[in-house]
Amino acid sequence: MAGMKDKVFEKPIEKKFEFDQAVASVFDDMLSRSVPFYDEVRRLAVSLILAEEEEGKRVLDLGVSTAKFLLDLHSRMETKMQLKGIDNSPAMLERAEQKCQAFGAAIDLELADMMSYEYHNEDIVVANYTLQFIRPMQRIALIKRLHDGLNDGGMFIFSEKVVFGDKRLDKEMIDIYYTYKKTQGYSDYEIAQKREALENVLIPFTIEENIRMCKEAGFRSVDTVFQWANFVTFVAKK
């Protein structure tokens, strides 16, 4: 099912960034062009889950958006794992439901806020570039609840945009990233517009802060399994 091309920021922005109908309709394209190696990272996360695959194992995707990740996992799994995605955007879930129906995929989708969702008996939780949109203190509380809701031996896979302690390096990484976005067909105007829309909406941690957050929540191990500039994928195990 081909997605529409992302032109959300070709016109002047009138509000802060949100996952509304305009974004939902082009979201797959936006991710593939805005997040370096997004498709490879998605495949890596799917492979990590398949390495732990077992009949009935529960996989929960936070901020499921258009369900692309869970559909990829569904197409590759060989047992009947229980796949579920939650999102607080009705527009995203509408797209997700349409895609799941089109592919005949039995994926449970729920309109829910990850901050108030009851985590219970989860085996694997995934959050792809999701935590960064949650206020820092709430984020720390969420990770503690996530940890407590995981079964022993459970796994939390998450990808995040990060900042660097070295301010000069941080600036250089941002410049490198914007150059990357230009190679993906975004104009200087679109890049500036999106940066303004995300101001104070996307609040990244350093790699060390992300690891500390997970360790303090009780995870026994936290490792990075992928990094390109300021985009990092972590795996935390209970």
189 in Cβ contact with 120 (< 8 Å): no
Could you tell me the CATH number of the domain that includes residue 79?
A: 3.40.50.150
pLDDT (0 to 100) of residue 26: 53
pLDDT tens for 13-37 read: 344 434 445 444 555 666 777 888 9
pLDDT tens for 164-215 read: 999 999 999 989 988 888 888 777 656 566 565 555 567 899 999 999 999 9
173 within domain boundaries? yes
7 within domain boundaries? no
210 within domain boundaries? yes
How crowded is the C-beta side of 190, counted as CA atoms within 13 Å? 17
Total domains in the chain come to 1
- In sequence order, the 6+-apart residues with CB closer than 8 A to the CB of 135 are 203
4 within domain boundaries? no
Average pLDDT over residues 117-136: 95
Token pair belonging to 175: 């410049």
Q: Which residue has the higher pLDDT, 88 or 29?
A: 88
Range of 106's domain? 14-237
9 within domain boundaries? no
- In the chain, the N- to C-terminal Cα span, in Å, equals 37
Closest listed residue to residue 209, CA positions, set 151, 160, 173, 171:
160
pLDDT tens for 36-65 read: 899 999 999 999 999 999 999 999 999 998
Q: Where are the beta strands (DSSP E) in 69-210?
A: 82-87, 108-111, 122-128, 150-161
181 within domain boundaries? yes
For all residues of the chain together, what is the average pLDDT? 86
6 within domain boundaries? no
C-alpha distances in Å from residue 125, one per residue of 34, 107, 197, 229: 23, 15, 28, 24
pTM of the model: 0.85
* Residue 233 bridge partners (DSSP): 159, 226
Give the 3-state DSSP-derived string for 170-223, with helices as H, strands as E and coil as C. HHHHHHHHHHHHHHCCCCHHHHHHHHHHHCCCCCCECHHHHHHHHHHHCCCEEE
pLDDT tens for 91-104 read: 889 989 999 999 99
